[in-house]
Amino acid sequence: MREISSLTLVLSDRCNFSCPYCPQQKGNNTLKIKDIRDFLDLLRTRLDREVWLGFYGGEPLLSWPLVKKTVAHAEKYFRNRFRFTLTTNGSLLEKQHILFFRKHHFELLLSYDGLAQKNRDAKSVAAVKRASDRLRRLYPDGYAINSVFTPKTVPLLAASMEALLRQGHSRLQYTLDACVPWKKTDLAILEKQLGRLMKICLRYRQKTGKTPLESLNLTDGKGIFTCSAGRDRLALLPDRTVWGCYLFYDLLGHSRQNPDYAKYCFGELEGFMAGLEKGFPAVTANYAELRQDFFFNEKKELCCLCDDLERCAVCPVVAALATGTLAVIPVWTCKLKKIARRVQGRPAAALSSPHRYRLEAQRKTGGANFNGD
């Protein structure tokens, strides 16, 4: 394991939403502040100079006292070592939260599906819109919005992003739900929608000088994608187990009898603390194999033979949520990737922006972007 540059605390598996595309299993597990303190203190000598500390759930605002206690501990004992991030569905976001986030320089990710929010949770539309307005007013530089689109909602993609821009939100991301099949007709709609979105982004760039779609800024640089789980990233889950990335818990955490559980779990907190000195060579070796050139799709086409290898990045867990096997990619994911690359590739140079620092932050903290672009 290298020096740790990203830690995720999944505070609880409770959520007040039941989004149709969410892979998490809900429950009543909640971390205690002692668990979090032990976890952070134990890793003290293994941390990089700057570490992203992410709060995640469930819905993390359901565990608000835990967020505040963790920040107090981190600031008292780790002297500016951490940069905080938090992902929220926004439904519980009040002024007091935003002022706290602003004071502690959080990078927030608001999960808000714009025009598709009614398909996600019809009752939440007004509350989340209100939260997004509050964020724009009180902490305009501190947040990005991520919208998820499925085959059912993809016809709304371009109009939804345009509406968010009109409302004054300037940092947008979109995610395609790659856990469900995309038919040929869905893919054709997606291609059209992305084409429209690129034109909207270009117009916005011409008018404001800013690039609103954060993925457009991440197209530079080629290389073979490697999953960073268990290399320089760890996650503490609400049942007190430690994994290389919180997504492994969604895939494996509820089936201990699955042989992959032992391959990727670092154990419960006590076991993790006891074993850290030796470094978990077997588990880290398993994580080290999660790289794009070792993956293949359901048709048994090897990524290492694909022309797009160095421009592709597929999260192996998101792929496995669809195929059932790590490193096996559903055929529609290849098609989604190719369409996004084709459409986004064209105006990327014209749209590239100087906001590297923030985008690096997104890259480091937002590894769960389903489309990986």
* Crossing angle (nearest 10°) for helices 184-208 and 331-351: 20
Task: In angstroms, give the least distance from the CB of 266 to ligand SF4.
Answer: 14
**Binding segment (CB under 6 A) for ligand SF4, from list 83-91, 208-216, 252-260, 291-299:** 291-299
Choosing from 53, 176, 236, 334, the residue that interacts with ligand SF4 (CB under 6 A) is: 334
**Binding segment (CB under 6 A) for ligand SF4, from list 29-37, 56-64, 178-186, 221-229:** 221-229
Choosing from 9, 176, 213, 314, the residue that interacts with ligand SF4 (CB under 6 A) is: 314
| Strand, coil or helix: 301 | coil
**Binding segment (CB under 6 A) for ligand SF4, from list 100-108, 189-197, 278-286, 296-304:** 296-304
Choosing from 86, 229, 340, 348, the residue that interacts with ligand SF4 (CB under 6 A) is: 229
The separation between the first and the last C-alpha atoms of the chain, rounded to the nearest angstrom, is: 26
- Our finding on whether 2 is near ligand SF4 (CB under 6 A) is no
Q: Per the omega criterion (within 30 degrees of 0), is the bond before 58 cis?
A: yes
Q: Which of 247, 269, 235 is nearest to 9 (CA)?
A: 235
Query: Which of 39-63 are b and which e, b meaning 16 or more Cβ less than 10 Å from the residue's Cβ?
Result: bbeebeeebeeebbbbbbbbbbbbb
**Separation of alpha carbons 148 and 117, rounded Å:** 9
Please, which residue, 108 or 245, has the CB nearer to ligand SF4? Answer: 245
- Our finding on whether 322 is near ligand SF4 (CB under 6 A) is no
Secondary structure element (H or E) that encloses residue 331, with its range: helix 331-351
- Our finding on whether 330 is near ligand SF4 (CB under 6 A) is no
**Burial status of residue 181 (CB atoms within 10 A of its CB: 0-12, 13-18, 19 or more):** exposed
Q: Which of 114, 89, 242, 99 is nearest to 166 (CA)?
A: 114
**Separation of alpha carbons 272 and 247, rounded Å:** 18
With tokens 């955490």, the residue in question is 253
**Separation of alpha carbons 24 and 307, rounded Å:** 34
Q: Which residues contact 17 (CB under 8 A, 6 or more apart)?
A: 59, 89, 91, 120, 121, 124
Please, which residue, 41 or 301, has the CB nearer to ligand SF4? Answer: 301
- Our finding on whether 201 is near ligand SF4 (CB under 6 A) is no
**Binding segment (CB under 6 A) for ligand SF4, from list 25-33, 85-93, 166-174, 333-341:** 333-341
Choosing from 54, 90, 330, 367, the residue that interacts with ligand SF4 (CB under 6 A) is: 367
- Our finding on whether 361 is near ligand SF4 (CB under 6 A) is no
Task: In angstroms, give the least distance from the CB of 178 to ligand SF4.
Answer: 11
* Total chain residues near ligand SF4 (CB under 6 A): 24
Please, which residue, 94 or 301, has the CB nearer to ligand SF4? Answer: 301
Q: How far is CA 119 from CA 90, 91, 107, in A?
A: 16, 15, 27
| Strand, coil or helix: 83 | strand
Choosing from 41, 94, 308, 360, the residue that interacts with ligand SF4 (CB under 6 A) is: 308
Q: Map the footprint of ligand SF4 across residues 254-283, applying CB under 6 A.
A: none
- Our finding on whether 303 is near ligand SF4 (CB under 6 A) is yes
- Our finding on whether 131 is near ligand SF4 (CB under 6 A) is no
Task: In angstroms, give the least distance from the CB of 65 to ligand SF4.
Answer: 27
Longest CA span, the chain: 56
Task: In angstroms, give the least distance from the CB of 328 to ligand SF4.
Answer: 10
Please, which residue, 1 or 71, has the CB nearer to ligand SF4? Answer: 1
Q: Is 372 left (phi over 0), alpha (psi -120 to 50) or beta?
A: left
Residues at the site binding ligand SF4, with contacts judged by CB under 6 A: 227-229, 233, 245, 247, 292, 295, 297, 301, 303, 306, 308-309, 312, 314-315, 317, 329, 334, 337-338, 367-368
